[in-house]
């Protein structure tokens, strides 16, 4: 079972909306069965799930302290993918969530303040040697700040080529316990989510293959992550259970003077 976690230190970045949409799209794309895992005490993801009529995805509501046990239970039940929603904070508990994840999604709205707040999440991912992807979310069409945000973030990690724009159908579908793929299947919003999931799924497949390679006893012992060119870059409806160094100067480019000092 693969584990995808959506993390943001700042509230209002659309974590829960992304979790629900990615889970449903993964099921539609044949990458299920999928279990959503809500570790946010506010329970926003569970509230959305409670409004759903569709049988998938399943949902588990738990805490970071019990997360590893819960993921083991989900794996035993045959789930192929777990998508974790987290509270908007950076705490030791978030570090524990990152440690059991295969890939971290960091949603970021296109604003200087939002970009700066991603630094803590990046640092935690680096300490755990976990791959992460920035996803620009709730962007406004035809605004130059969106491309500026992508350029800035690309200096610190991989940015998803699929940008999710702010549209009313996202909010409307979530209120109804659904997604844009189910409410407006021919919309631009749906195409953006489909493209995002295709990209995320490809990244996770690469991570899975890399893990197999690293655990292969025939793999040369000299192999390590520095050699990895990608490093920086219908069932019954179920409520499953209710139970490296820090980078400095994030968001600022190095000047020629700084490079000379290095």
Q: Is residue 76 part of a domain?
A: yes
Q: Is residue 251 part of a domain?
A: no
Q: Is residue 211 part of a domain?
A: yes
Q: Is residue 8 part of a domain?
A: yes
DSSP 31: -
Q: What is the average pLDDT across 216-224?
A: 52
pLDDT in tens, 23-63: 999 999 999 999 999 999 999 999 999 999 998 999 999 99
Q: What is the average pLDDT across 127-131?
A: 91
Q: What is the average pLDDT across 100-122?
A: 92
> Given pLDDT bands bounded at 50, 70 and 90, which one contains residue 243?
very low
Q: Is residue 260 part of a domain?
A: no
In whole angstroms, give the CA distance from residue 68 to residue 74: 10
Q: Is residue 262 part of a domain?
A: no
pLDDT of residue 5: 97
Tell me the three state secondary structure of residue 165: strand
Domain that holds residue 24: 2-235
Q: Is residue 156 part of a domain?
A: yes
pLDDT of residue 251: 40
Kindly tell me if the per-residue pLDDT of 234 is higher than 60: no
Kindly tell me if the per-residue pLDDT of 186 is higher than 90: yes
pLDDT of residue 12: 86
Tell me the three state secondary structure of residue 138: coil
What percent helix, strand, coil does the chain show, rounded to 5?
A: 45, 15, 40
Kindly tell me if the per-residue pLDDT of 152 is higher than 70: yes
**CA nearest 237: which of 103, 52, 80?**
52
Q: Is residue 261 part of a domain?
A: no
Number of domains in the chain: 1
The CATH number that applies at residue 21 is: 3.40.50.300
> Given pLDDT bands bounded at 50, 70 and 90, which one contains residue 180?
very high
pTM exceeds cut of 0.85: no
Residue 225 neighbours by CB under 8 Å, 6+ apart: 129, 231
> Given pLDDT bands bounded at 50, 70 and 90, which one contains residue 64?
confident
The arrangement of strands across the sheet holding 131-136 comes to 158-159, 131-136, 103-108, 2-6, 81-85, 34-38, 58-61, 239-242
């Amino acid at each position: 079972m693969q584990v995808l976690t959506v993390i943001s230190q700042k509230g209002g970045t659309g974590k829960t909306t992304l979790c629900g949409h990615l889970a449903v799209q993964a099921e539609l794309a044949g990458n299920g069965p999928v279990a959503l895992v809500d570790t946010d005490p506010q329970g926003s993801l569970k509230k959305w799930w409670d409004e759903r009529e569709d049988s998938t995805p399943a949902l588990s509501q738990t805490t970071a302290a019990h997360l590893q046990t819960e993921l083991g239970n989900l794996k035993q039940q045959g789930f192929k993918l777990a998508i974790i929603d987290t509270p908007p904070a950076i705490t030791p508990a978030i570090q524990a969530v990152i440690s059991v994840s295969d890939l971290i999604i960091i949603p970021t709205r296109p604003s200087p303040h939002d970009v700066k707040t991603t630094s803590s999440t990046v640092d935690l991912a680096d300490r755990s040697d976990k791959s992460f992807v920035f996803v620009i979310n709730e962007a406004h069409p035809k605004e130059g700040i969106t491309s500026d945000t992508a350029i800035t973030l690309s200096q610190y990690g991989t940015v998803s080529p699929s940008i999710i724009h702010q549209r009313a159908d996202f909010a409307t579908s979530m209120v109804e316990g659904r997604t844009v793929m189910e409410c407006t299947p021919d919309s631009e919003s749906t195409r953006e989510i489909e493209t995002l999931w295709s990209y995320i799924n490809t990244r996770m497949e690469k991570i899975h293959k890399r893990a197999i390679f690293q655990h292969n006893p025939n793999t040369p012992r000299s192999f390590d992550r520095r050699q990895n060119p990608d490093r920086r870059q219908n069932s019954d409806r179920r409520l499953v259970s209710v139970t490296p160094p820090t980078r400095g100067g994030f968001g600022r480019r190095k000047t020629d003077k700084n490079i000379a000092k290095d």
